Amino acid sequence: MSYENAAAAAEFIRSKYSGELKTAIVLGSGLGAFADELADAVRIPYEDIPGFARSTVEGHAGQLVLGEVGGVSVAVQQGRFHYYEGYDMQQVMLPVRTFGLLGIKNLILTNAAGSLNSDMLPGSLMLIADHLNCLGVNPLRGPNDTRFGPRFPDMTEVYDREFRHIALEEAAAIARERFENGLDDTLTDIINAGVYCALSGPTYETPAEIHMYRLLGADAVGMSTVPEAIAARHQGTRVLGISCITNLAAGLSCETINHEEVMETGARVAEVFKELLRRIIVRIG
């Protein structure tokens, strides 16, 4: 997957949608419903886009949806490509690189994640403050194409400080409004900031592994997001990351972990999650 692949994909998408795309959003497991909110939507199945792989995971629809949110044109990935599916990192990074070549300057990455932090319970959201790449590979390994970015990209602030500030403000406003409207009986935080640790999967972790990742500083674990965040920063795209906490990580409760539970929790937080995304998109527009 070369620069030319991303350029071909971008040209194809351009031929289907002429709006000035500002922000791209990648929707994680169980969080796909946001794509149904777009006005004047154009839907493109991944198999139609040159070079794009297919989504093989349940809960990932496998299409790009282009349209407007609050008057802002956005590209929404309803389903992403994961390393555990067997794709190489070039394929995992291709959509984000394509967004960059489409002139999109902002990227919102979302995912489902298991919590290692007792302040972050299932059904809450985690604002990604920073990440640990425990995938066992760096997605930029290999020859560097300087048309994407430099050989040694800086990773000091992967998740944009201003975007994080906006996300926290909007989450606080939503919490207050829900409380005032009687939708929530306590004024609790909707989102907490934390460190996301990316693992290759596809197994969930053992309790001993979770113990180790906790010692390393992880607040949540998941199987995505970090390759896309690295590809985006390589290109100079600004990144915001939000995890939906779908379960307590292995060994932190008496339960076992399964994909159905992950999907169900995603559906449970869908309303707040969609509202938060909508407000952030309008603010960063």
**Residues with catalytic roles:** 29, 60, 82, 84-85, 112, 223-224, 247, 259
Is the CB of 102 or the CB of 262 nearer to ligand HPA?
Answer: 262
**In this structure, what are the phi and psi dihedrals at residue 161, rounded to the nearest 5 degrees?**
-60, -45
202 cis-preceded (ω within 30 degrees of 0): yes
Instruction: State whether residue 208 is helix, strand or coil.
Output: helix
According to DSSP, residue 219 is labeled: S
Residue 2 Cβ vs ligand HPA, minimum distance, rounded to whole Å: 30
State which of positions 93-152 bind ligand HPA (CB under 6 A).
Answer: 112-114
Query: What's the CA gap between 175 and 264, in Å, rounded?
Result: 22
Task: Based on the shown chain and the rule CB under 6 A, indicate whether residue 247 belongs to the binding site for ligand HPA.
Answer: yes
Query: What's the CA gap between 33 and 9, in Å, rounded?
Result: 24
Is the CB of 107 or the CB of 245 nearer to ligand HPA?
Answer: 245
CA atoms within 13 A on the CB side of 77: 32
Q: Could you tell me which stretch among 14-22, 83-91, 175-183, 242-250 binds ligand HPA (CB under 6 A)?
A: 242-250
Query: What's the CA gap between 262 and 59, in Å, rounded?
Result: 10
Residue 99 Cβ vs ligand HPA, minimum distance, rounded to whole Å: 23
Is the CB of 51 or the CB of 79 nearer to ligand HPA?
Answer: 79
Residue 260 Cβ vs ligand HPA, minimum distance, rounded to whole Å: 11
Task: Based on the shown chain and the rule CB under 6 A, indicate whether residue 262 belongs to the binding site for ligand HPA.
Answer: yes
Task: Based on the shown chain and the rule CB under 6 A, indicate whether residue 27 belongs to the binding site for ligand HPA.
Answer: no
Among 33, 257, 267, 270, contact with ligand HPA (rule: CB under 6 A): 257
Is the CB of 129 or the CB of 257 nearer to ligand HPA?
Answer: 257
Query: What's the CA gap between 242 and 34, in Å, rounded?
Result: 14
Give me the 201-240 binding string for ligand HPA, x by CB under 6 A, dash otherwise: ---xx---------------xxx-----------------
Distances (CA, A) of 103 to 29, 147, 262: 26, 14, 33
Q: Could you tell me which stretch among 19-27, 50-58, 188-196, 245-253 binds ligand HPA (CB under 6 A)?
A: 245-253
Contacts of 225 (CB under 8 A, 6+ apart): 26, 28, 109, 111, 128, 131, 196, 198, 241, 243
Count of residues that bind ligand HPA according to CB under 6 A: 13
According to DSSP, residue 140 is labeled: T
Query: Which residue is nearest to ligand HPA, using beta carbons?
Result: 114
Query: What's the CA gap between 51 and 65, in Å, rounded?
Result: 17
Interacting residues with ligand HPA (CB under 6 A):
112-114, 204-205, 221-223, 246-247, 249, 257, 262
